[in-house]
Structure 1
Amino acid sequence: MAAKIPATVVTGFLGAGKTTLIRHMLANAGGKRIALIINEFGDLGVDGEILKGCGIEGCADDDVVELSNGCICCTVAEDFIPTLKKLIERENAPDHIVIETSGLALPQPLVRAFNWPDIRTRVTVDGVVTVVDGPAVEAGQFAADIAAVDAQRAADDGLDHETPLSELFEDQMACADMVVVNKSDLLGEARAEALAAKLRDAARDGVQVIQASHGAVDPRVLLGLGIGAEDDLAARHEVHHHHHHDDEEDDHDHDHHHEHGHDAFESFVVDLPEIADPAGFVAGVEAAIRAHGLLRVKGFAAVQGKPMRLVLQAVGPRIDTHYDRPFATGEARASRLVVIGQAGLDQPAIAAALQGMFEAA
């Protein structure tokens, strides 16, 4: 059976920076074929036009699909499922699908839709990314322009229930696998870290909370989470169970495009010898992740007495391992890990921790 196509759901209030984050992701996709489903309201698809007209190589018009008939969580059967089926059934199917929800959409019903029989065997929710406006959330407003949010509520004739913003924010946070605290540059380092720590404490175990400015997040951090969120709905508690919302997206968070998005993140490689104890190896990697707040660790290890290579993929504290192939004749039986985190990693300390772990394994 062919591997499922991963889909990332990007949610967050109007003005948080979802469109800016997606545009940056497309500009740095590295050749990955990414299709977009954008939940836009009204007669003029503002966000879709921004993304289609951005001049990003490899982002063709037919890779951007707009749903403008209402909130995506309220039109799953009518719009979303047929659109998703059309994308995954294309002859040149995308490598990854990114879904930008409307600012007032509940993410849980959308994730639940991935269990529909027509698509369940073909596509999976790689992860839910919730983008928050750092200064607004710090001020307890959740959205920078409350009047704009109220105007969007009023613009949707199909809206028959108004969810309080505090409840909607809780739903978006409860469903998240990663929270991006955007506009952190407007808070300053100390306040941004305090807000991130507060959100991290409130989130369920395993949810990553990262800081960003101008929506600039390395695609290696955003994509490839491998969560399978549709199989984990019980952990994503809904505060509000009536999915009737609206709004349009957030093309206006920062007017200028940030060209150096990877500056906020860094990665490095740690080369290591064979290991003796796979369980100790995993435990050591997990300890390094927790001690240094690492976002991703991926790579492989040679295990003494085993002909096959052990592959490791870690997203936050969640670690998966499997043996993928035998070492080739003449291939060095070595181990290598790629470490990814926010800028400012103590690379020598992390490398020393991993090397010490290997020596002890």
Structure 2
Amino acid sequence: MNDLSRIPVTIVTGFLGAGKTTLISHLIRQSAGRRLAVVVNEFGTLGIDGDILKGCAIPDCPAENIVELANGCICCTVADDFIPTVETLLALDPRPDHIVIETSGLALPKPLLKAFDWPAIRSRITVDGVIALADAEAVGAGRFAPDLAAIEAQRAADPGIEHETPLAEVFEDQLACADLVLLTKGDLAGPDGVARARAIIAAEAPRPVTVVELLDGVIDPAIVLGLEAAAEDDIAARPSHHDGEAEHEHDDFDSLVHEMGEIDDPAALVARIEALARDRDILRVKGYAAVRGKPMRLLVQAVGARIRTQYDRPWRVDETRATRLVVIAEHDRIDPAIIGTALNG
């Protein structure tokens, strides 16, 4: 938590079957010493993508660095799934050098991009780039997705999905957010199909975007990773069909850091956090505590009143033993005096 360096994150979007998992498998194998972590959200193929990627695991991207989110479309489950997962990856030791996120084929990329402004993570990560994969044959034919039946099955499999967006609009939203478009399956489309796909992408993209063809996911990682787009600072230039719709803006949330000395009883701290979450509608509490007489640091992770604690590592000799907790809630629920009193007990 004392390391202020920001970890780059690459978002990989595209319809089911466009080749996202194949691309990420290649990036894992060609990591060249870069420690990777991967978040997979292709819930329509529950367990499959995660297992595939874990089968590619290497020392620089071990299986525990590959997390599958299967509770629904990632753009609709940001608070419940995505933010806690990213925080878990940021807490890994050793920390990842780069995080790759494979979205669901139905995910709208802009809500996910906005999530990177959440107080819990905005100072710790940066969106290195948004990569959109497009199936050349499907795009050239105006279908956009290679298997329409699979897409509809994927939509039906997620009862919590909050948007019924036509595929053409999802495709346009993917292009609008993209820093790079990877055109896949050009061998199936043929030269004419690739030319049509390129023309459609050029016509639909709201700003010039580089299009690179690739086969079987093989590409130099230097082309995909290291774009340094800082996309979270460029959201206004990435229009969406859903701009202006009612949504829970991340600016509605605020955070504070509460610091105190050593504690005597971890169970008492947990009880105080539970009470605070109930009384003040606190969304998240995270941080660590110094327990008197214990050589290990106590990690604290709370989502609402659900709290997990574990001793994660010994205190270093150069560290000050102290308790430091980050509290996240809506603006009107953040009161430093009330929260401080509740946590101090």
TM-score interval, normalised by the smaller of the two chains = 0.5 to 0.7
One-letter amino acid matched to 1:227? A
Name which of structure 1's ranges 188-197 and 73-82 shifts more when overlaid on structure 2.
Answer: 188-197
Aligned to 1:93: 95
Aligned to 2:25: 23
One-letter amino acid matched to 1:29? S
Aligned to 1:230: 232
Q: Secondary structure at the match of 2:68?
A: strand
Are positions 1:155 and 2:164 aligned together? Answer: no
Identity %: 55
Aligned to 2:123: 121
Are positions 1:84 and 2:80 aligned together? Answer: no
> For residues 44 and 107 of structure 1, what CA distance do their matches in structure 2 show?
20
Cα root mean square deviation, aligned: 2.1
Aligned to 2:136: 134
What TM-score comes out, normalization by structure 2 length? 0.67
Are positions 1:143 and 2:141 aligned together? Answer: no
Deviations 1:265-310 (A, max 9, x none): xxxxxxxxxxxxxxxxxxxxxxxxxxxxxxxxxxxxxxxxxxxxxx
One-letter amino acid matched to 1:47? D
Q: Structure 1 residues 141 and 197, CA, compared in 2 at 3 Å: closer, same or farther?
A: closer
Aligned to 1:207: 209
Aligned to 2:268: none
Q: Structure 1 residues 228 and 243, CA, compared in 2 at 3 Å: closer, same or farther?
A: farther
> For residues 144 and 243 of structure 1, what CA distance do their matches in structure 2 show?
31
- Deviation of 1:162 (Å): 1.2
- Deviation of 1:217 (Å): 1.8
Aligned to 2:40: 38
- Deviation of 1:42 (Å): 6.2
CA contact (8 A) 1:87 1:93 kept: yes
> For residues 160 and 222 of structure 1, what CA distance do their matches in structure 2 show?
30
Q: Structure 1 residues 138 and 191, CA, compared in 2 at 3 Å: closer, same or farther?
A: closer
CA contact (8 A) 1:8 1:128 kept: yes
**Counterpart among 48, 51, 54 of residue 49 in structure 1:** 51
- Deviation of 1:56 (Å): 4.0
- Deviation of 1:3 (Å): 2.6
Are positions 1:70 and 2:72 aligned together? Answer: yes
Matches within 5 A, 1:1-361: 2-41=4-43, 44-54=46-56, 56-240=58-242
> For residues 46 and 131 of structure 1, what CA distance do their matches in structure 2 show?
19
Q: Structure 1 residues 243 and 187, CA, compared in 2 at 3 Å: closer, same or farther?
A: farther
Q: Structure 1 residues 60 and 111, CA, compared in 2 at 3 Å: closer, same or farther?
A: same
Deviations 1:288-337 (A, max 9, x none): xxxxxxxxxxxxxxxxxxxxxxxxxxxxxxxxxxxxxxxxxxxxxxxxxx
Q: Secondary structure at the match of 1:188?
A: helix
- Deviation of 1:9 (Å): 0.2
Name which of structure 1's ranges 68-77 and 196-205 shifts more when overlaid on structure 2.
Answer: 196-205
> Unaligned 5+ residue runs, structure 2?
248-345
CA contact (8 A) 2:176 2:207 kept: no
- Deviation of 1:57 (Å): 4.8
Name which of structure 1's ranges 49-58 and 101-110 shifts more when overlaid on structure 2.
Answer: 49-58
- Deviation of 1:154 (Å): 1.1
